Amino acid sequence: MKIERSILATFFGNYLINTVAAALVALIPASGTGGFLSAQYISFVVLAVIIVALLAWWQGVRGAKAGLIFGVVGFLVAIATAFITGIAGVLGQTGSFSQVVAILPNFWPFIASTSTLFLLGYWIIPPIVVGWFKGHGMPSAPSM
């Protein structure tokens, strides 16, 4: 498994999760309570798991170790993308580097939130499962 290809695949997966999955989930009516047990949040996590599993399968992950590597790369790409997007957004809106420096301490609470654990889970668990199944002789589709 090539790490450069994994970075590209996980960047594409991050895009699909943050735009396509989020747009599909937005079609579900919002609950008044919100939180992690809302229909929207659960649907988002389920769609993210499906997308990551499909990407791991498409990437050709074989074995739990390769799945773990793919998942860690995906998680790190998602965190780096959020960081760079946040900095670029503040710089684009304000045009001031001092404002960018002022918001940098706000990134730690983002990392320390519960949603980051969900992010870690849906980037790590599906590739490990797919890699384990593919590494242990998962039956392939019949050829014609």
pLDDT digits (tens, 9 = 90+) for 56-100: 999 989 999 999 999 999 999 999 999 999 899 999 999 888 999
When pLDDT is averaged across residues 16-27 and rounded to a whole number, the result is: 94
Could you tell me where the DSSP H helices lie in 16-113? 22-25, 39-59, 64-94, 97-103, 107-111
Q: What is the pTM of this model?
A: 0.85
Contact between 52 and 126 under an 8 Å Cβ cutoff? The reply is yes
Per-residue confidence band for 142, with pLDDT thresholds at 50, 70 and 90: low
Residue type, 135: G
Per-residue confidence band for 15, with pLDDT thresholds at 50, 70 and 90: very high
CA-CA-CA-CA torsion for 35, 41, 42, 45, nearest 10 degrees? Answer: -130
Buried b / exposed e across 128-140, counting CB within 10 Å, b at 16+? bbbbbbbeeeeee
Report d(CA 44, CA 17) in Å as an integer.
8
Q: Where are the domains of the chain?
A: 3-28+36-135
